[in-house]
Structure formats: structure tokens, C-alpha cells
């Protein structure tokens, strides 16, 4: 009898608490349906989360605000984005190369008020690259630099992979990592000064590779070996080269050649030739609206 009374009391207490917890979860707006089939042994599903604080620092309301954000790339040689959920409605703009830009039209932001935008993306990751389509324009020289051309001829070998490995190892041996810098200095500066951050490491690999006749590109995203939450400090640039019908990582700054694909979440493939629009654009996110600031958690 006492046991029955206890069970009834617990049921009255526990059920409302569970309901309260469920009610606290954000409402997500779904863009695509995730696949539900069984994955091959060299594939795995992964969920990544990220969140942004948008704040009005003025004493006036901000009307017609708009938040722009790169979502994970639709498909690369080792990543497929199968579903995107968001705490706020958005429009998806597809760009060249599989880039996906999320555009959030925000209602009026009151004075000193904040909005929190949360994103959840479902990914299928692959330990070895899928074969992909043609490499297109990724042989076009990024810059005209005699020193880069001469170095490329010295490092060029009999096969694309050997050439990529030679370039990768040369950068490791000769370029010093400076830590993150806000300004993009480019491949010529990295070669002249023999230093740079992850962006310069990637740019230099791409420039030498293309000068040697090897298709290469720069990719931006997050280096996240563990966990689900994307943090600003994990933002990273790396290079990829095209060999055997697939794009393969050559991340000299992280000492990673064609390995650890599960650690890399791509959010932007840099176009082979930057247009005036893309050159003056953004890499991760930006906010439209006077007096608004945005910060990634």
C-alpha cells in the first residue's frame, strides 16, 4: 500500500518536470529530411551545433535586420549535409561548389535587445574520399609569381600524389606558423617571409600546386576532432588537392596529409577565381543592420 502511494506521488511530480524540460527546447525549422538507411562501414553520421548572439547596442530599434551565415557545404569528397535545423526561419542560397548560405531576415530588434540564433546540422562523414566530378577551374593560377613558378617546377614529380607530398613537406620544412592573424596576406607573402597562419599555409600549397599542374583549392570550416559544438577558435583553413578522382586534404599547418577526414567540417569552398563580389564578401557570417553586432558562442 505504501509502495503504491509512493508511485502515485512520483508520477505526479515527474511528469510535469519532463514536460517542462521538453518545453524549454528551441523550436527548429527543418530544411531537409535526413537519410535513414544503414551507412557503410567507412561512413558515419555526425551532428554539429553552433549558436550566435545578435545584439542591438543602440537606443533605437533596428528594422529590416538580416543575418548571413555559411552552413556546412552540401557535399564534398568526405562530407554530405543531409539536414539543417534552425531556431529561426531562413532562406537558403546555393552557391557554386556546394556552398550553402543561410539568410535570416530578422524582425525589428528593440533597443539594447538580443536575439540568439541556433543551428543544428546533420552530416554524413566519410573516412576515405568519395570520387567527385571534374576539377573544373582549380588549375587556374591564383597569382603570377616567378618564385612560386620556379619552386613548383622543382617540386613537381611523376604523379599527382608525389607532387602534392613534395609541396606539403616543403611547406612544413620552410614555413613558420605565426598563430592566427586577422589579415589575409596571401601565398606570395608567405613565401617571401617564410611564415603565416593556416590561411597562408593553405594559400601557398594551392598556389604552388596549380603552378605545378596539380588541381588544388582552399577550404574553410572547423577543425573539430571531438564533440558537437562548433566554436570560433576551431575555425580553420586547409588545402585540398585533386587526385584519383577525389579531393584530398593536405593540411601542412596541422601536419595532416590525406588523413583524419572525420575531424574537418567544411563550410566554404573558396572559388577557383575570386570574383569582385566574392573577394569583398565574408568567410563565416555577417549581420546587416546599423548598431547590430554578432558573436559566435
Which value, to the nearest 10 degrees, does the dihedral of the CA atoms of residues 63, 64, 68, 71 take?
110
- The position carrying cell 570560433 is 232
Report the top-level CATH class of 39-129+283-296: mainly beta
End-to-end Cα separation, the chain, in angstroms:
52
Residues 6+ apart with CB under 8 A from 210: 138, 139, 140, 141, 142, 216
* Domain definitions of the chain by residue range: 39-129+283-296, 146-272
How confident is the model over 97-146, as pLDDT tens digits? 889 999 999 989 999 999 999 999 999 999 999 887 767 788 888 778 99
Neighbours of 211 (CB within 10 A): 25
Q: Is 42 helix (H, G, I), strand (E, B) or coil?
A: coil
Percentage with pLDDT > 70 across the chain: 84
Sheet with strand 65-71: strands edge to edge? 91-94, 100-106, 65-71, 285-288
- How high is the pLDDT of residue 85? 98
- How high is the pLDDT of residue 21? 33
Report the top-level CATH class of 146-272: alpha beta
Nearest one of 50, 58, 71, 64 to 114, comparing CA atoms: 58
Q: Say yes or no to pLDDT of 92 above 90.
A: yes
Residue bearing the bigger pLDDT, 240 or 27: 240
Nearest one of 265, 297, 296, 293 to 57, comparing CA atoms: 293
Q: How far is CA 51 from CA 46, 87, 108, 123, 253, in A?
A: 17, 10, 20, 17, 27
Average pLDDT in the chain: 86
- pLDDT bin (cut points 50, 70, 90) of residue 17 is very low
Minimum mean pLDDT among 37-51, 67-81, 153-167, 197-211: which range? 37-51
pTM confidence score: 0.83
Estimate the crossing angle of helix 186-193 against helix 146-155, to 10 degrees: 70
Q: What is the spatial distance between Cα 149 and Cα 46, in angstroms, rounded to a whole number? A: 40
Q: How far is CA 69 from CA 90, 127, 269, 294, in A?
A: 10, 27, 14, 11
- pLDDT bin (cut points 50, 70, 90) of residue 80 is very high
Q: Say yes or no to pLDDT of 36 above 90.
A: no
Q: What is the spatial distance between Cα 74 and Cα 293, in angstroms, rounded to a whole number? A: 28
Amino acid at each position: 500500500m505504501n509502495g503504491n502511494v509512493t508511485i502515485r506521488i512520483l508520477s505526479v511530480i515527474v511528469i510535469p518536470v519532463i514536460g517542462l524540460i521538453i518545453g524549454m527546447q528551441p523550436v527548429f525549422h527543418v530544411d531537409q529530411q535526413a537519410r535513414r538507411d544503414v551507412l557503410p562501414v567507412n561512413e558515419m553520421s555526425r551532428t554539429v551545433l553552433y549558436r550566435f548572439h545578435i545584439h542591438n547596442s543602440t537606443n533605437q530599434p533596428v528594422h529590416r535586420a538580416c543575418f548571413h551565415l555559411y552552413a556546412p557545404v552540401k557535399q564534398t569528397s568526405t562530407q554530405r549535409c543531409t539536414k539543417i535545423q534552425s531556431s529561426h526561419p531562413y532562406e537558403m542560397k546555393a552557391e557554386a561548389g556546394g556552398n550553402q548560405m543561410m539568410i535570416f531576415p530578422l524582425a525589428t530588434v528593440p533597443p539594447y535587445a538580443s536575439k540568439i540564433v541556433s543551428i543544428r546540422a546533420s552530416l554524413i562523414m566519410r573516412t576515405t574520399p568519395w570520387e567527385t566530378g571534374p576539377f573544373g577551374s582549380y588549375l587556374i593560377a591564383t597569382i603570377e609569381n616567378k618564385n612560386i613558378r620556379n619552386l613548383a617546377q622543382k617540386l613537381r614529380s611523376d604523379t599527382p600524389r608525389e607532387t602534392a607530398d613534395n609541396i606539403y613537406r616543403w611547406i612544413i620544412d620552410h614555413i613558420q606558423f605565426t598563430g592566427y592573424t586577422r589579415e589575409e596576406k596571401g601565398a606570395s607573402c608567405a613565401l617571401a617571409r617564410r611564415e603565416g597562419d593556416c590561411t597562408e599555409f593553405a594559400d601557398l600549397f594551392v598556389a604552388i600546386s596549380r603552378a605545378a599542374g596539380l588541381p588544388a583549392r582552399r577550404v574553410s570550416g572547423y577543425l573539430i576532432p571531438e564533440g558537437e559544438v562548433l566554436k570560433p577558435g576551431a575555425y580553420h583553413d586547409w588545402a585540398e588537392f585533386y587526385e584519383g578522382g577525389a579531393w584530398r586534404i593536405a593540411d601542412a599547418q596541422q601536419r595532416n596529409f590525406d588523413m583524419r577526414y572525420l575531424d574537418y567540417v567544411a563550410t566554404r569552398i573558396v572559388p577557383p577565381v575570386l570574383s569582385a563580389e566574392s573577394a569583398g564578401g565574408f568567410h563565416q557570417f555577417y549581420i546587416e543592420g546599423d548598431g547590430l553586432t554578432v558573436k559566435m558562442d
